[in-house]
């Protein structure tokens, strides 16, 4: 689902830069809701077989996994049976989801680059590039640890220390939700303004008390 959201964001950026005046009519609330639902449905359909494949494996190595969460292959490796089908299906899902989404993102950003270069105003080009920088950072933060985790479980299990597997897998879960708000907060003006209003509204107001200088001096004050 996270990968699908990044793909939809790339398409959203293309429409926003290529057709800024028609953005609201092209990407209506209905279309956005349908795209989000299809992304959710795709994730459910492709991930459900993992549970079914793992459930039917015979287990004889206990129920403790050397991981910080129930990763599919970590659970499957507790089995005494053949986990080749699990590994192949996991690889197919990673390539299908990641490959398709990255292809769409690449095509979108190629069209975005062509649209930005064709802009006549240098200020408009700079603003468009700045808008896309945050999205590119989010893509790198998400896909690099994700693909490392998927492929090393299947091809680098004996050459890469297990502690490295766990460390990168935890980065895959923690980095995107931790850094994405920071990345978008730095690059998005509306978020910056919203955060400033939030923090400024919580600051206590200082009351200024003006004192009559005649009272302080006491020389023009009469009872």
Q: What is the pLDDT of residues 87-146, one digit of tens each?
A: 889 888 888 888 888 898 888 888 888 877 777 777 777 777 777 777 788 888 888 888
Rounded mean pLDDT of 10-15? 86
Bridge partners, residue 59, by sequence: 79
**Distinct helix (H) and strand (E) counts, the chain:** 9, 0
pLDDT at 151 over 70: yes
Residues 91-101: tens digit of each pLDDT: 888 888 888 88
Q: pTM, whole model, 2 decimals?
A: 0.70
Residues 160-174: tens digit of each pLDDT: 777 887 888 888 888
- Burial of residue 174, with CB atoms counted within 10 A of its CB: 0-12 exposed, 13-18 middle, 19 or more buried: exposed
- Burial of residue 79, with CB atoms counted within 10 A of its CB: 0-12 exposed, 13-18 middle, 19 or more buried: middle
């Amino acid at each position: 689902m996270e990968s699908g959201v990044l793909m939809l964001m790339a398409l959203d950026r293309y429409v926003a830069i290529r057709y800024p005046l028609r953005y609201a009519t092209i990407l209506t609330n209905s279309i956005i809701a349908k795209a989000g639902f299809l992304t959710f449905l795709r994730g459910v359909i492709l991930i459900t077989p993992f549970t079914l494949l793992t459930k039917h494996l015979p287990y004889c190595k206990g129920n403790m996994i050397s991981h910080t969460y129930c990763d599919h292959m970590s659970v499957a490796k507790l089995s005494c049976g053949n986990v080749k089908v699990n590994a192949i299906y996991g690889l197919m899902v990673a390539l299908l989801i990641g490959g398709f989404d990255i292809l769409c993102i690449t095509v979108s950003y190629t069209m975005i680059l062509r649209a930005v270069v064709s802009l006549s105003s240098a200020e408009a080009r700079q603003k468009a590039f700045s808008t896309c920088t945050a999205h590119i950072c989010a893509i790198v933060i998400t896909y690099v640890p994700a693909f490392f985790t998927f492929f090393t479980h299947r091809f680098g299990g004996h050459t890469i220390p297990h502690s490295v597997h766990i460390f990168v897998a935890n980065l895959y879960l923690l980095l995107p939700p931790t850094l994405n708000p920071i990345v978008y907060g730095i690059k998005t003006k509306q978020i910056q303004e919203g955060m400033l209003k939030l923090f400024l509204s919580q600051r206590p107001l200082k009351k200024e008390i003006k004192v009559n200088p005649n009272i302080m001096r006491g020389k023009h004050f009469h009872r």
